[in-house]
Amino acid sequence: MGALLIAVIYLAFISLGLPDSLLGSGWPIMQTDLGVPSSYAGYVSMSISFMTIISALVAPTIIRIVRTQWIVVFSILMTVVGLIGFSCSKSYAMLFIFVVPYGLGAGSVDSALNNYVAKHYSSSVMNFLHCFYGVGAMISPYIMSIALAKARWNEGYRWTAYIQSGIMIICLMSVPLWKKNITGEDNSEHDSAGIREALKIRGVIPTLIAFFAYCSGECTCFLWTSSYFIGTKNTISAETAAAFGSLIFGGLMFGRLISAFVSNKLGDRLLIRIGIAVEAVGLLFIFFSFDDYIPAAVGFAITGIGMGPVYPAIQHMAPGNFGKKNSAAVIGLQMASAYIGSTLMPMVFGLIQQAIGIWIMPVYLTIFAVINICMLEFAYKRIKIELL
């Protein structure tokens, strides 16, 4: 029964990753069909992120009222509605109607599942959980590519909605399995802290800044890695540079896979310190690669491996650092900080590199890595003072 529940939770996290890569992979054709400039994808993406931030902030309140299993089911249902809405959209303006369920569903399930796993399972399970998010994010571009080859972009969203519906049905059928942990779930979440109360806890605010910094660096890599190779390596082809855009993503998945096997032995804090040290090595490779793209490629892969355990470990530490009563609110705030960083800071880098040059990217990433580790270490000291 326990193994089945973990499998369902992993499946739910695959569903979280599925919608995330569709817009980027389908937009070159979508923008032509909808008659809008290519840059308009940014407004859709930001709108989805904005709804996700709202959802993450209200998630602690919802968790106090509704069981995690039902949040998962209804959140996936909302993403299905959003995906079907995108598939039926015949104008650019229609997309903004359906970004509401699209984004709200993602934020709710992300916060609820991270909170549930952090409270009930080991760090190893948390790292595997985030690996399965990557599985979903890797599958959806292939779904869209098949749709573009065989039909239209609309079908890519529709087929993904069908897969999501299947996952939702499995989650609905698995509701009895969740009773396994109800007795350990503080009987009810109604005594959980709210957002305002959580913000007053020592160590929470520096942890939020650390999470913001981490996601700022991660998503800057997602958006700008290929452009970095094109802008700094004269000998590389556009096709190779595009392929190298997946180096960070592959590194993240590999880093989390490794972490899943060693995290229980090392502990979350040591794992984060090792991860950021590995990230620093990768950034040095990038910075000193000069005109040779091979060391830079190795550097981005190493950077991704180092980044891998940071996100899951920060989430998993929340109940231990701040108490189970506060974990839902803290994780909701962490998710909101993550989405703010991932939405805004890649755009900020775009403006910086336009003015200075894209060679500045490893420096930009180093700044966020330093902020990340400094804020976390400061948070640990604040937590220690609170416990004394």
| Banded model confidence at residue 96, pLDDT cuts 50, 70, 90 | very high
Query: pLDDT tens digit string along 354-368?
Result: 889 889 999 999 999
CATH number at residue 327: 1.20.1250.20
Residue 186, phi then psi, degrees to nearest 5: 55, 30
Q: Which of 173, 192, 211 is the last residue of a domain?
A: 192
Whether residue 122 is found in the same domain as residue 212: no
Q: Who's near 275: CB < 8 A, 6+ residues apart?
A: 255, 259, 306, 307, 308, 309, 310, 313
Q: Which of 140, 127, 115 is nearest to 198 (CA)?
A: 115
Whether residue 43 is found in the same domain as residue 157: yes
pLDDT, average across residues 317-328: 81
Cβ neighbour number for residue 366 with a 10 Å cutoff: 17
pLDDT, average across residues 107-124: 81
Whether residue 201 is found in the same domain as residue 61: no
CA 327 to each of CA 140, 263, 331, 386: distance values in angstroms, whole numbers, following the listed order: 31, 20, 6, 16
Q: Who's near 294: CB < 8 A, 6+ residues apart?
A: none
**Could you give the CA distance from residue 203 to residue 326 in angstroms, rounded to a whole number?**
12
**Could you give the CA distance from residue 368 to residue 206 in angstroms, rounded to a whole number?**
13
Q: What is the pTM of this model?
A: 0.78
CA 7 to each of CA 13, 125, 178: distance values in angstroms, whole numbers, following the listed order: 10, 11, 12
Burial of 173 (0-12, 13-18, 19+ CB in 10 A): exposed
308 neighbors 254 (Cβ within 8 angstroms): yes
Whether residue 72 is found in the same domain as residue 153: yes
pLDDT, average across residues 151-176: 91
The pLDDT of residue 388: 42
The pLDDT of residue 193: 60
Query: How many helices (H) and strands (E) would you count in the chain?
Result: 16, 0
Whether residue 171 is found in the same domain as residue 142: yes
**Could you give the CA distance from residue 323 to residue 325 in angstroms, rounded to a whole number?**
5
- Token pair belonging to 190: 């109604």
pLDDT, average across residues 231-238: 78
Whether residue 201 is found in the same domain as residue 185: no
Q: Which of 38, 21, 48 is nearest to 246 (CA)?
A: 21
The pLDDT of residue 1: 53
Whether residue 160 is found in the same domain as residue 275: no
Whether residue 279 is found in the same domain as residue 222: yes
| Banded model confidence at residue 387, pLDDT cuts 50, 70, 90 | very low
Domain that holds residue 23: 2-192
Of 141-145, 178-182, 197-201, 229-233, minimum mean pLDDT range: 178-182
The pLDDT of residue 188: 46
Whether residue 285 is found in the same domain as residue 297: yes
**Could you give the CA distance from residue 12 to residue 55 in angstroms, rounded to a whole number?**
17
Whether residue 227 is found in the same domain as residue 187: no
Whether residue 170 is found in the same domain as residue 268: no
**Could you give the CA distance from residue 168 to residue 284 in angstroms, rounded to a whole number?**
44
Whether residue 158 is found in the same domain as residue 246: no
Q: Which of 69, 52, 70, 73 is nearest to 165 (CA)?
A: 73
Q: Determine the distance from the C-alpha atom of residue 87 to the mean position of all C-alpha atoms in its chain, rounded to a whole number.
A: 24
Mean of the per-residue pLDDT values of the chain: 84
The pLDDT of residue 191: 54
295 neighbors 345 (Cβ within 8 angstroms): no
- Tokens 């934020």 belong to 107
Question: Is residue 239's pLDDT more than 80?
Answer: no
CA 58 to each of CA 20, 64, 168: distance values in angstroms, whole numbers, following the listed order: 21, 10, 22
Query: How many domains is the chain built from?
Result: 2
Q: Which of 159, 192, 225 is the last residue of a domain?
A: 192
Q: Which of 175, 192, 209 is the last residue of a domain?
A: 192
**Could you give the CA distance from residue 17 to residue 6 in angstroms, rounded to a whole number?**
17
The pLDDT of residue 181: 56
